[in-house]
Chain A
């Protein structure tokens, strides 16, 4: 048995083939060695191979150094070289538990889906829910809105924070919300106020989903949309409980996947391990800290 383990390289590759972007993370002994990200293409298998090669070249490693490849995300089955494929629900929970074991609810806001996981003992999900056939609040939704407002997706968070009085957006459907946004623009409302209103609407929707779990515990928010400081700010205001956002929220799924490599039955959940993985003071950061970190 031991021989088999040593026969495999010491590195594990976590691959998260999301609806919009593909994230790859390289892990060694519970520490993140490197990561890369690209837009998901029509051939996820090929894309992952390229990303892996880039990552290995960057770190001066060989293919043999990689022990296990674990895939997750909507395109997990297209990654032919993966040793294991697990759903994104399991992967995000795994990653989140590694980062903050005391969290009770994990919210993953991805490109096409919102997933809320309630954590049980030992980081095993005890319950989860997802958005049902509705893209409202997802990355795609925010993309559409940013396009309607002619703002870059990376700027919407920051710009919404400059709003003084948020406009009220009622529609949750992507198409109707877009037409509501267009009519607000026609009324001469500022982009900042409209964005703030959109973020409020999204936050309300996510909080409603979180509340259906009937849990009052601490929340960790991750997934690509958690990089949007506007939504994070609104969530903090409405969620009415302790909430943390890790530094690279979009990588949590890939991290969880890498942690599921079969050799690691029990991932090292220590403060040092966590800090090493995701930067210092994760979970302790205030909203302002994160804001400064991202905007700077």
Chain B
């Protein structure tokens, strides 16, 4: 396979003019800067958020660190979905970086390669980023770990092979039966072998256990934040919470843990003072559906700018990243891999799995626990799996009389006003319902 050379772009040389790269870089940088400045304008924003802004900044401090690391011979692994065990990547001595892109501009080069193809814009943007290397970080990646989840992601991993070595992970999409979990454990071990090959470091049990405890600690901190968000007046906005959890995908997890701990302390102080991140009387919204990767914070910004506050989400770019710790039953290496495989397979409620009733069950549970008044179900255009599940979820939510609105969006700003009208109507509806559907008063969580 490796010797065959490019398949999708045989005439790669000189295909993309230099000015396209310059333009894509410039627009990406501008987009990130404008989204970031909007985030900084949020009212009652904790001061400790500044660190997380910096981690995700285009060409920021974290990028410089990774470049230094790479220069010294360190290896960087790009991950495409949440099923890649980051503990393993780091235990092998490599650094993990989530590759999914939230930048709008790189969609255009991908369109030139593939045509429109009704493909998900996140996939196109990720591909476009690599094609014109619109982001200096993307060129540092030595290996891509891509679980074959949805059609878009699977073919994205295949196309990326034209540029960079890829480990395609055969994730079982049917969630029942012994064969599924056996296969997935084997795939995890295969990833380990490829990582060892890449770095030249064997994955030692001690290092792996150390990484596991660090990531489990991170999960712990995330659930602290979730607890704070459950309260009647969450001190952190939905966008900021997403920013924090997404930063973990790029950052050194030890430092991330330290910084999140500081943030939590600040948030707790804010809560005792009664500081609220949202507008007074804001509608408590749960965000569901397709991922929203920074800086594609279009929909969350509209929600939080139209009288809503995102109390929690069920996205693979948010809550799902940190929702479960790895629970190891024994001391053998086999048991550790078994535990990792389970953590990265069973709790994941990505719509690429079937049966996926776990998603509805969890959603209902979260709605009750967080006092959710309405669900915004977002699908990226071409995200068939989420689009299909939306119907099922809408009907399930109707049973517990929680309203849901479906929003389809693309990677551009053309639909902002249309989306805003719908979200505003949704918030108006929730507020009108309050007079007739009294929500149970939230118990103050502590």
Contact A89 B436 (CB under 8 A): no
Set of chain A residues within 8 Å of B417, measured between Cβ atoms: 74
**Residues A124 and B408 in contact in the complex (CB < 8 Å), given A86-B428, A130-B422, A133-B415:** no
Contact A89 B395 (CB under 8 A): no
Contact B405 A128 (CB under 8 A): yes
Set of chain B residues within 8 Å of A58, measured between Cβ atoms: none
Set of chain B residues within 8 Å of A89, measured between Cβ atoms: 421-422, 425, 428-429
Taking the complex as formed, is B3 at the interface, i.e. its CB lies under 8 A from any CB of chain A? no
For chain B, give the interface size range: 20 to 34
Q: Which of B403, B404, B429, B436 contacts A90 (CB 8 A)?
A: B429
Taking the complex as formed, is B433 at the interface, i.e. its CB lies under 8 A from any CB of chain A? yes
Bound together, the chains give a CA A86 to CA B395 distance in angstroms of 27
Taking the complex as formed, is A54 at the interface, i.e. its CB lies under 8 A from any CB of chain B? no
A37 nearest CB across to chain B (Å) = 21
Q: Which residue of A lies closest to B405 (CB)?
A: A128
**Residues A125 and B436 in contact in the complex (CB < 8 Å), given A87-B424, A130-B422, A133-B415:** no
Q: Which residue of B lies closest to A265 (CB)?
A: B435
Q: Which of A74, A88, A120, A214 contacts B433 (CB 8 A)?
A: A120
Bound together, the chains give a CA A88 to CA B394 distance in angstroms of 23
Taking the complex as formed, is B432 at the interface, i.e. its CB lies under 8 A from any CB of chain A? yes
One digit per residue, 1 when the CB lies within 8 angstroms of any chain A CB and 0 when it does not, for chain B 403-416 equals 11110100000010
Taking the complex as formed, is B418 at the interface, i.e. its CB lies under 8 A from any CB of chain A? yes
A220 nearest CB across to chain B (Å) = 18
Among B404, B418, B424, B429, the most chain A Cβ lie within 10 Å of the Cβ of: B429
Q: Rank and list the top 8 A-B pairs by shortest CB-CB distance, nearest first.
A: A89-B425, A87-B425, A124-B432, A90-B428, A125-B429, A87-B424, A87-B421, A132-B408
Bound together, the chains give a CA A198 to CA B426 distance in angstroms of 32
Mark A residues whose CB is within 8 Å of B.
Answer: 74, 86-90, 120-122, 124-130, 132-133, 212, 214
A92 nearest CB across to chain B (Å) = 10
A138 nearest CB across to chain B (Å) = 13
Bound together, the chains give a CA A77 to CA B440 distance in angstroms of 34
**Residues A90 and B408 in contact in the complex (CB < 8 Å), given A124-B432, A124-B433:** no
Set of chain B residues within 8 Å of A121, measured between Cβ atoms: 436
Bound together, the chains give a CA A197 to CA B407 distance in angstroms of 31
Bound together, the chains give a CA A129 to CA B425 distance in angstroms of 11
Mark B residues whose CB is within 8 Å of A.
Answer: 391, 394-395, 398, 401, 403-406, 408, 415, 417-418, 421-422, 424-426, 428-429, 432-433, 436
Bound together, the chains give a CA A125 to CA B404 distance in angstroms of 11
Set of chain A residues within 8 Å of B422, measured between Cβ atoms: 87, 89, 128, 130
Set of chain B residues within 8 Å of A90, measured between Cβ atoms: 425, 428-429, 432
Set of chain B residues within 8 Å of A129, measured between Cβ atoms: 406
A131 nearest CB across to chain B (Å) = 10
Bound together, the chains give a CA A120 to CA B418 distance in angstroms of 24
Set of chain B residues within 8 Å of A120, measured between Cβ atoms: 433
Set of chain A residues within 8 Å of B426, measured between Cβ atoms: 128
Contact B418 A133 (CB under 8 A): yes
A210 nearest CB across to chain B (Å) = 15
Set of chain B residues within 8 Å of A125, measured between Cβ atoms: 425, 429, 432
B364 nearest CB across to chain A (Å) = 17
Contact B436 A214 (CB under 8 A): no
Contact A127 B428 (CB under 8 A): no
Other A-B contacts than A89-B429, A128-B426, 14 sampled, CB-CB below 8 A, are A74-B417, A88-B421, A88-B425, A90-B432, A120-B433, A121-B436, A124-B429, A125-B429, A126-B401, A128-B425, A130-B418, A130-B422, A132-B408, A133-B408
Bound together, the chains give a CA A48 to CA B395 distance in angstroms of 41
Contact B425 A124 (CB under 8 A): no
Bound together, the chains give a CA A7 to CA B404 distance in angstroms of 40
Bound together, the chains give a CA A121 to CA B433 distance in angstroms of 9
B290 nearest CB across to chain A (Å) = 15
Q: Which residue of B lies closest to A212 (CB)?
A: B391
Contact B408 A122 (CB under 8 A): no
Bound together, the chains give a CA A121 to CA B422 distance in angstroms of 20
Set of chain A residues within 8 Å of B421, measured between Cβ atoms: 74, 87-89
